[in-house]
Structure 1
């Protein structure tokens, strides 16, 4: 799965997709898609990633308490 780094605009190939959907994890391991050679795996803050279209990641991937916070609004 590819996501976009909001700071650089570069694509990031997510190598541990299961961590992406885990709201308890604030980071996910991926490889920056820059240049012709494959980059080493790096941790990326999920809050600084989006879908390539620019759409934000779902709150259920970022915040373990999103349901609780929604019901109190």
Structure 2
């Protein structure tokens, strides 16, 4: 799955989808898709990511107290 950073609009390939949907985790491991070669895995804050369409991530992925 690919997400986009809010500030640079760069694409990020999410490494672990389960980590992304876990509301108890504030960060997710991903690989920046800049350049032609696969980049090293890095850590990204979930609140700084959006879907490539510009839509925000679901609140249930971000807030453990969401009901």
Q: TM-score normalized by structure 1?
A: 0.90
Give the distance between the partners of 2:64 and 2:32, measured in 1 at CA.
Answer: 26
Residue in structure 1 matched with residue 21 of structure 2 by the alignment: 21
Structure 1 residue 37 displacement after superposition: 1.0
Q: Distance in 1 between matches of 2:37 and 2:2?
A: 17
- The runs of at least 4 consecutive aligned structure 1 residues that moved more than 2 Å come to none
Give the C-alpha shift of residue 42 in structure 1: 0.3
Aligned twin of 2:3? 3
Ranges in structure 1 where 5+ consecutive residues have no aligned partner: 68-73
Unaligned segments of structure 2, at least 5 residues: none
Aligned CA-pair RMSD: 0.5
Give distance in 1, aligned partners of 2:7 and 2:18.
Answer: 23
The number of aligned residues is: 67
Q: TM-score under structure 2 normalisation? A: 0.98
Q: Does 1:56 align with 2:56?
A: yes
Bigger-Rg structure (1/2): 1
Partner of 1:43: 43
